[in-house]
Structure 1
Amino acid sequence: MPRYRRNAGATFSLKYHLVWCPKYRKVPVPPYDARLKEIIGEIATETEMIVHAVEVMPDHVHLFVEADPTLAVAEIVNRFKGRSSRLMRQEFPALRSRSPTLWSRSYYAGSVGHVSAKTVEAYIAAQKGA
């Protein structure tokens, strides 16, 4: 896999560690976890994202994904959470409840890169003297 990806106007390497939790109960356990991974893969393929890793835990989901810079982090998370909630609740009646969604509103998003923040700060600081 190449280190950088390209689109019509940019060369990029944008990778995110995303974590989100179910709204009220522990949900992502067998048989739900396998289907959730499939849905995440489908969404990634449709939006040309690359899933580097996904792990479904009893009380949260970890996703390591690479995306195009035209997609904001909030949009990426909303695509995964929104569609997975809708499809999982349609396919598994046991997941339907009084709540209109499977997932809580909150999430964690962290960027992952090839260089540290200190390296970038030092590079930018060095540009002034160059």
Structure 2
Amino acid sequence: MKCKSNDSVVCSCKHHAVFCPKCRRPVLVDGVDERLKEIALEVADEMGFDIIEMEAMPGHVHMLLEAGPQLGIHRAVKRIKGRTSHDLRAGFPWLRARIPALRASSHSVSSVEGAPLAVARQCIENQKSV
């Protein structure tokens, strides 16, 4: 197991996060999914956490994240959802006409510390074939 550290904390906090567009509408298509991934990686780089694996389906997004306890997984997911909603609606005007807001207020997060990382990664990679 590889740990991350800073001046005061050594940790390995990996989480599986799932979130959906508002009303679970299948709008993550036609390049929106790829742009969402780019924006999410930019946010991760800015905030200092890692996105290990990510898959965007038409109606939801799965991510395997590693965020330290000082940042908090909730803050990381909330920032990704907020930035992707803003940037995608600005870049794809048809999204504004389709739904009043892109992001729903809820998301699901579970720790993957008990499962081997390879299993969690494979689960997210295989989402498109489900």
TM-score (normalizing by structure 2): 0.81
Q: CA deviation at 1:73?
A: 2.3
Question: Comparing both structures, which one devotes a greater share of its residues to strand?
Answer: 2
Partner of residue 41, structure 1: 41
Count the aligned residue pairs: 114
The 2-side partners of 1:93 and 1:115 are apart by: 40
Distance 1:32 1:64 in 2: 20
2:29 matches 1:17: no
Match of 1:111 in 2: 111
Q: TM-score, structure 1 length as denominator? A: 0.81
Moved over 6 A (4+): none
Closer/same/farther in 2, CA of residues 23 and 12 from structure 1, 3 Å limit: same
Partner residue in 1 for 2:7: 8
Residue identity over aligned pairs, in percent, reads 39
Task: Give the unaligned 5+ runs of structure 1.
Answer: 117-130
Give the superposed CA RMSD: 1.8
Distance 2:30 2:54 in 1: 15
Which consecutive unaligned segments of at least 5 residues does structure 2 have? Answer: 117-130
Letter in 2 for 1:6: S
